[in-house]
Amino acid sequence: MSLSLVAAVAENQCIGKNGTLPWHIPEDMKHFKELTSGHVVLMGRKTWESIPEKFRPLPHRINIVITRQEAYAVPEGVFVFPTIEEALAAFPGKDMMVIGGAQMYAETIGRADTLYITHVHSVVPGDTFFPSIDPTIWRETDRKDHDGFSFVTYKRI
């Protein structure tokens, strides 16, 4: 089993503002879909709620929502767990991808194997931030530069 984090991150570590992405990068949405399709995606309740209803659950993926709210209502086929540990235990041997939000990233970066980061080449005001990527722990293994952003893969050293 591997655990990966997938995020778009501005130069100031911003990943969100008022429950939304603070940018519109169609190429990043396409990249996200390609990375996560066919995989198990873990997300916090706020991230789940930030996805427009017409796109929920994310198709071609096993959707897991982490929330402490008992009896949290989700569509059929979506799994809800109160903790990340319980979600991981429920899908042994499956590759999982954490797709947000900040609390989920903070709680899982210490056990992740891979980071798929879209680096947005600007400082963006926001209220939600990604943890620092420590270069003594993470090694860049792939980079594709584009105008205004880069797709970068990091592997744990």
- CB contact at 8 A, 41 and 63: yes
- CB contact at 8 A, 99 and 42: yes
Please tell me the predicted confidence (pLDDT) of residue 146.
98
**29 phi, psi to nearest 5 deg:** -65, -40
CATH code of residue 33: 3.40.430.10
pTM: 0.97
- Per DSSP, which regions of 56-157 are E strands? 62-66, 79-81, 96-98, 114-120, 128-129, 138-146, 149-156
pLDDT digits (tens, 9 = 90+) for 11-35: 999 999 999 999 999 999 999 999 9
Q: How far apart are CA 111 and CA 44, in angstroms?
A: 17
pLDDT digits (tens, 9 = 90+) for 73-130: 999 999 999 999 999 999 999 999 999 999 999 999 999 999 999 999 999 999 999 9
- CB contact at 8 A, 129 and 8: no
Domain that holds residue 133: 3-156
Residue 1 pLDDT class (50, 70, 90 cuts): confident
Report helix, strand or coil for 61: coil
Q: How far apart are CA 145 and CA 135, in angstroms?
A: 19
**55: pLDDT strictly greater than 90:** yes
Least Cα distance to 101 among 125, 77, 53, 67 occurs for 67
Q: Which residues contact 2 (CB under 8 A, 6 or more apart)?
A: 95, 96, 113, 114
Total of domains in the chain:
1
